[in-house]
Structure 1
Amino acid sequence: MNTFQLSKASCQLKDNSYFHDIVEYHHVNHRRFLTSRSIFAAATTDGNYSCDIGSLRYFLLCGAGGILSCGLTHTLMTPVDLVKCRIQANSDKYKGIFNGFKISLEEEGSRALARGWAPTAIGYSIQGFGKFGFYEVFKVFYGKIIGEEKSYTYRTFLYLMASASAEVIADIGLAPMEAAKVKIQTSPGFASTLREAWPKILHEEGLMGFYKGLVPLWMRQIPYTMMKFASFERTVEVLYKYVVPKPRAECSKGEQLLVTFAAGYVAGIFCAIVSHPADTVITKLNQTKGSTAIEVAKAMDMATLWKGITARIFMIGTLTGLQWFIYDGFKVAARLPRPPPPTMPESLKKKLEEKSGKR
């Protein structure tokens, strides 16, 4: 038996506050060790849910939802990703997204559009588990550190920090597969499958061949993920407050999932813009041997850095909307708690009322 065991995750609404006791650890002799309140709990433990927010099962299931969310969507978008990478790697030949599709089909046939699907599926499944699973972990962890009231007041900062921390971990698993994918898609004659590409990269460049793009991958993915989660969370708030004609509690599961998709698509547009220059650097870096990210970036002008942005906005907007839809749909199917948009805790309301009353 572990020294500490998870004994309670109380997620009941109290005093009309969004913040609820979620994690209470006890020593094996039942001495209370820690109780915390957090922005994240909105589930009840009345049997409607398969687990409690803050439990290990909850985090693992969120990670499983991330596998489906990222693995499926990125794999389905492989043809668009292939053309986008080719535009970035050889803009003289591939003039745009439609021209890129046309040339790829004429030269290699329809099978070429699936090139790189295997490393995409594996890499982004691993990344999805880390991205979504650890986001939930860090959201709870940082929320406990700063407390209930600050978790609400500075919730955007909380979303940014939790998502950035999760992405640092997630990209360590993604980097090797991303390197193989780009080689397959942009280096003619190098390899057409993951089985061919993996030993070639290992033989020619060693283990660092798989991780030379990790830093620029972080440069692309961390801003992307910070924008993805923070803008999604806040967009959901705005939609329910100003657009959806009824409270979330009165919306059906289907209506809630439509709001999820819309918020995800909006978030995806912002994600594509903030992460595109680093994405171009990664494509060029994995295409060439012996170069560093700084050397590759210095060799490109602004126009080159932004090549393929139209294809990427379409790809990332659609992809991010679908990711959030799948993730939220998985949580519904798995009967996981799905907290509503946060509301101000009663303690903070009282403080503000007292402060305004003194004026």
Structure 2
Amino acid sequence: MAPSFVVPSFSQRDYGSFFLAGALCCTISHGAMTPIDVVKTRIQIDPAFKSHNFISGTRSIVAKEGAAGLLTGFGPTAVGYLAQGGAKFAGYEYWKRSFVLIAGDQETAIRNRTAIYLGAATIAEFFADILLTPLEATRIRLVSDRSFATGLVSGFARIAREGGIRELYAGFLPILCKQIPYAIGQFTVNEYCHEIVYRTMTEDMKNRLSGSAKFSLDLGSGIIAGFAAAILSHPADTLLSQINKGHGPTGFMFHRLSVLAREAGFRGLFVGLGPRMIMTAGLVSSQFLMYGYIKTALGAPLGIEIHKDHKNL
């Protein structure tokens, strides 16, 4: 039987720090990426933008709406990802630790680390999306229809008034289909990128890594994880934009999604992937960098590592 091992305890204060760090890194990164997201969303749902790439789409929006047009939806983006980011990062730390405890020993945890990453990311994202969905619906409506409302409060209020809870959560299923693969790519690929590098090092080498080396590792891992997150989640992202625009038939969500997917085809589901890969690589890498720095500033502990090292090869 493999020996038991000590799993560090996290206090309520620690989880509060995880939540705050996740909230700040996500709202800052998503808020900064608003112009890219505006162009991406227009390419996905506006027929007039179907032939545009990121550069030509940006020029078209600025020419017609001014530079302010690139900041459409900034309010719901910042608020939505403040809540979602905190819940996602703190939830991932909580569920990863919980699954490590269920494994019972280090060997079992390492052997099942992929399942632990996938499970922790999936459950954390599910609860985070309950907070995100109404604000994401508001953002997409504002971006797709500039005359819909003047901002976050008026847009949210109009959707709630005209459609109620059902309309605010009309995109919950597609947003789960988008965000859960996104979180899986974000966390799992990032974990494995770090593991691949750490496998080449002894424990002493790892402990003596310079600040610039750690920065480079975190940045590179985040960029690769961002590419993976974008590719895995993009088809559902396209369908989510269509649903919130009001496209597709009425009826059950599975039916609506399947009809829209057939109409779009494989190529149509990946329209706008280029700009989104750029956006997501920047989002994920900056989030992991900021998350680490903010946790350190708050005096929070490191997360649990269950990587396979060189001794286990």
**Do Structure 1 and Structure 2 share a fold, with TM-score over 0.5?**
yes
Distance change in 2, residues 1:123/1:253 (3 Å): same
Given that residues 226 and 283 in structure 2 are in contact (C-alpha distance below 8 angstroms), is that contact kept between their aligned partners in structure 1? Answer: yes
Structure 1: runs of 5+ lacking an equivalent? 1-16, 23-40, 42-52, 353-359
Distance change in 2, residues 1:176/1:340 (3 Å): closer
1:113 paired with 2:70, answer: yes
Q: Equivalent pairs: percent with the same residue?
A: 30
Partner in structure 2 of residue 336 of structure 1: 300
Given that residues 113 and 307 in structure 2 are in contact (C-alpha distance below 8 angstroms), is that contact kept between their aligned partners in structure 1? Answer: no
Distance change in 2, residues 1:258/1:332 (3 Å): farther
Given that residues 224 and 274 in structure 1 are in contact (C-alpha distance below 8 angstroms), is that contact kept between their aligned partners in structure 2? Answer: yes
Partner in structure 1 of residue 133 of structure 2: 175
Partner in structure 1 of residue 20 of structure 2: 64
Greater relative contact order (CA < 8 Å, ≥ 6 in sequence): 2
TM-score (norm 2): 0.89
Q: For residue 247 of structure 1, report the CA deviation from its aligned partner.
A: 2.0
Matches within 5 A, 1:77-156: 77-94=33-50, 95-148=52-105, 149-156=107-114
Aligned residue type for 1:170:
A
Matches within 5 A, 1:229-248: 229-242=187-200, 247-248=205-206
User: Could you give the per-residue CA deviations for residues 186-220 of structure 1, whole angstroms, max 9, x where no partner exists?
Assistant: 12321231122112212222211110000000000
Distance change in 2, residues 1:133/1:303 (3 Å): same
More moved, 186-195 vs 114-123: 186-195
More moved, 220-229 vs 198-207: 198-207
Structure 2: runs of 5+ lacking an equivalent? 251-255
Aligned residue type for 1:138:
W
CA distance in structure 2 between the partners assigned to 1:178 and 1:295 by the alignment:
22
Q: 2:226 aligns with which of 268, 276, 286?
A: 268
Partner in structure 1 of residue 147 of structure 2: 189
Partner in structure 1 of residue 244 of structure 2: 286
Q: 2:281 aligns with which of 314, 317, 336?
A: 317
| Structure 1 or 2: more helix by fraction | 2
Given that residues 195 and 307 in structure 2 are in contact (C-alpha distance below 8 angstroms), is that contact kept between their aligned partners in structure 1? Answer: no
SS at match of 1:212: coil
Aligned residue type for 2:96:
K
Q: 1:258 aligns with which of 216, 223, 247?
A: 216
SS at match of 2:289: helix
CA distance in structure 2 between the partners assigned to 1:98 and 1:242 by the alignment:
40
Distance change in 2, residues 1:334/1:253 (3 Å): farther
CA distance in structure 2 between the partners assigned to 1:266 and 1:259 by the alignment:
11
SS at match of 2:49: coil
Aligned residue type for 2:17:
L
CA distance in structure 1 between the partners assigned to 2:116 and 2:290 by the alignment:
23
Q: For residue 68 of structure 1, report the CA deviation from its aligned partner.
A: 1.0
CA distance in structure 1 between the partners assigned to 2:21 and 2:5 by the alignment:
24
CA distance in structure 2 between the partners assigned to 1:204 and 1:296 by the alignment:
24
Distance change in 2, residues 1:81/1:217 (3 Å): same
Q: Larger Rg: 1 or 2?
A: 1
Partner in structure 1 of residue 253 of structure 2: none
Q: For residue 116 of structure 1, report the CA deviation from its aligned partner.
A: 0.3
Aligned residue type for 1:67:
A
More moved, 77-86 vs 203-212: 203-212
Aligned residue type for 1:90:
D
More moved, 109-118 vs 335-344: 335-344
More moved, 261-270 vs 191-200: 191-200
Distance change in 2, residues 1:336/1:90 (3 Å): same
CA distance in structure 2 between the partners assigned to 1:343 and 1:179 by the alignment:
38
Q: For residue 100 of structure 1, report the CA deviation from its aligned partner.
A: 0.9
CA distance in structure 1 between the partners assigned to 2:89 and 2:123 by the alignment:
11
Distance change in 2, residues 1:252/1:190 (3 Å): same
Distance change in 2, residues 1:155/1:321 (3 Å): same
Distance change in 2, residues 1:337/1:224 (3 Å): same
CA distance in structure 1 between the partners assigned to 2:281 and 2:304 by the alignment:
23
CA distance in structure 2 between the partners assigned to 1:317 and 1:288 by the alignment:
29
Q: How many residues matched?
A: 302
Q: For residue 179 of structure 1, report the CA deviation from its aligned partner.
A: 0.1
User: Could you give the per-residue CA deviations for residues 93-130 of structure 1, whole angstroms, max 9, x where no partner exists?
Assistant: 35111111011000000011111000000001110011
Q: 2:176 aligns with which of 193, 196, 218?
A: 218
Partner in structure 2 of residue 38 of structure 1: none
1:209 paired with 2:141, answer: no
Given that residues 183 and 286 in structure 1 are in contact (C-alpha distance below 8 angstroms), is that contact kept between their aligned partners in structure 2? Answer: yes
Q: For residue 295 of structure 1, report the CA deviation from its aligned partner.
A: 3.5
TM-score (norm 1): 0.78
User: Could you give the per-residue CA deviations for residues 147-195 of structure 1, whole angstroms, max 9, x where no partner exists?
Assistant: 2221111112111111101000000000000000000001232123112
